[in-house]
Structure 1
Amino acid sequence: MLLKIIFLSSILLGFVVLGFGIQIFFSKKKRFPQTAIGHNSEMKKRKIFCPQTQEKIIRKNKKPWQSPF
């Protein structure tokens, strides 16, 4: 019984991977979506930056006598 479930789930997983591969291969974009925060246009629209950029902005706006924390 358990062997049947594992076999069926592996076949289903194979179809899913095959479907994703076909979709990427025949897609007009031919590119993966940008997931990095600094390169994603939707994140830029919402003013969400990478932690390194946020740290630079915070340090730029702080006065020298203020605590770094």
Structure 2
Amino acid sequence: MTVFFLSLGLITLGVLGLSLSIIVRKNGKFPEYSVGHNKKMRERGIRCPKEEERMLLKKGAHGNCCNCRKA
């Protein structure tokens, strides 16, 4: 029983430690990892693969790797 309570306490401390930065922040949200919604990725010119595919199809690329380098 002692091992159970000890492991439960360690798990609780781990969860609190990992969530501390989220709890303390002003907005308290997880960072956005989706390429389409992340502001920093958009500033660097990183696009969603679906968006890039649509852009290439509009330019006339038909999925050939040679066409990817031209875009």
Q: Aligned residue for 1:59?
A: 57
TM-score (norm 2): 0.63
Matched, 1:47 2:45: yes
With structure 1 as the length reference, what TM-score do the two structures score?
Answer: 0.64
* Unaligned segments of structure 2, at least 5 residues: 1-5, 64-71
State the identity as a percent. 30
Q: Where has structure 1 moved over 6 Å in runs of 4 or more? A: none
Count of matched residue positions in the alignment of Structure 1 and Structure 2:
58
Aligned equivalents of 2:58 and 2:23: distance in 1?
Answer: 45
Structure 2: which amino acid aligns with 1:15?
L
The one of 15, 30, 41 aligned to 1:32: 30
CA deviations on 1:1-39 (whole Å, 9 max, x unpaired) are xxxxxx88xx3x653321122331222121110000000
